[in-house]
Amino acid sequence: MTWSEAQSYCRQHYTDLATVSSEEDVAKWVFVEEGKTWSEAQSYCRQSYTDLASIRNLAENEEIRGLISNSSWIGLFRDGWKWSDGREAEFRMWASGQPDNSGSNEHCVVMSTSGVWSDFPCSRRLPFICYNGSSRWIFVEEGKTWSEAQSHCRQNYTDLASVRNLAANEEIRGLISNSSWIGLFRDTWKWSDGSTMSFSKWYYNQPEGGDEHCVVSLRGKWHDYLCSRRFYFVCYSAQSYCRQHYTDLATVSSEEDVVKLNDVVGSHPSWIGLYYDINSWRWSLQNKSYYGEGEAEFRMWASGQPDNYYSDEYCVVMTTEGQWGGHLCSHTHPFICYNGENKTTCEFIQNNNNNNINHNFCHTFFS
Ligand SMILES: [Ca+2]
Ligand SMILES: [Ca+2]
């Protein structure tokens, strides 16, 4: 929504509070009965709601189980990188713009002849580099899928190459005549909203891995699947949740608030209540009694902000690092509402751990 639409939504709840008969009237989860690939489903949820569903505890898993009739995508997918030999190495040599996980289908890594890396579909047949404890690198010119290459290296040598530093990268670069597999692959589960997996409910023998990098829920149990398969899916709607529980756009008055709100917004830049009015920045929530000393003046601008880059950047979003930036008020973003009913506690949209969706925290100035 635009900033003023978001403001209206947040405020509306306050005046309409007496007529809302049940909080269950507004859905937090939205079950979409349209077959889509995982990334199509993700785009749909991000456009129409907030994101694909993240499931943080057993209660949420049960809610979604009760909602869906068939296998349905949830927001879980494989991201983050590991080396085939299981050892840790932070060195990366990504080409510009990589990794981009194009088509949500690029889970293995190739080195090009110029020495830079890209993520690439594991099913492509490419030459590859094995590692052997004694003679170091072996370039195998035969085209194989990443998994076939891994098996070949493990049978005949030690493993696919782990490239741990620039010197090793240069040695391998000098050896290859085509883009070649190295040992890096995606193997960490993440939620679509950017949060890590802290709760899981896998079906027996799942996840199987290989090329299966996206997750469906069926009868409350999770299965990894090819991301290109089409399933119904479950979106998460922060707007609905906001409307249920909040009275105004969020006011941010301390660094502690920033941390908490950052947990809420995940990977989504979101409107907060700050806006530019005549000649100063003010909060949407203007009742002075809500603010302790100095709290209404707290700011957390990102470096160089507000820069009014497009002119008329009179509304404020909080980005993923908790920093603020001025935006055109007509842009559409998710938003964070604030519950002004309780002096010390308020509910946030979602939290980043597996305790409870209704994460409470003390906000020092609310009544
Ligand atoms: Ca790529
Ligand atoms: Ca599977």
Q: What CATH number did the domain enclosing 245 receive? A: 3.10.100.10
Q: Are residues 254 and 340 in the same domain?
A: yes
Q: How many residues does the chain have?
A: 367
Please tell me the number of the ligand nearest to residue 107's CA.
Answer: 1
Three-class DSSP category at 176: coil
133-142, 154-163, 301-310, range with greatest mean pLDDT? 154-163
* 293 within domain boundaries: yes
Residue 61 CA to ligand 2 center (angstroms) comes to 19
Q: Are residues 195 and 275 in the same domain?
A: no
Residue 354, pLDDT above cutoff 80: no
Q: Which of 187, 215, 247 is the last residue of a domain?
A: 187
Q: Are residues 91 and 177 in the same domain?
A: yes
What are the angstrom distances between the C-alpha of 361 and each of 54, 98, 352?
Answer: 21, 38, 13
DSSP string computed for 41-109: HHHHHHHHSSEEPP--SHHHHHHHHHH-SS-EEEEEEEEEEEETT--------BPTT----GGG---EE
Is residue 349 within 8 A of residue 264, CB to CB? The reply is yes
pLDDT category, 101, cuts 50, 70, 90? confident
pTM, 2 dp? 0.49
Which residue shows structure tokens 């040598």? 157
Considering its fold, how many domains does the chain have in total? 3
* 367 within domain boundaries: no
pLDDT attached to residue 249: 65
Residue 205, pLDDT above cutoff 60: yes
Q: What is the pLDDT of residues 240-281, one digit of tens each?
A: 555 455 556 666 767 767 666 666 666 667 777 787 877 788
Residue 287, pLDDT above cutoff 80: no
Three-class DSSP category at 21: coil
Residue 101 CA to ligand 1 center (angstroms) comes to 5
Please tell me the number of the ligand nearest to residue 186's CA.
Answer: 1
* 41 within domain boundaries: yes
Residue 124 CA to ligand 1 center (angstroms) comes to 12
DSSP string computed for 112-157: -TTS-EEEE-TTS-EEEEEEETTTEEEEEEEEE-HHHHHHHHHHHS
Residue 12, pLDDT above cutoff 60: no
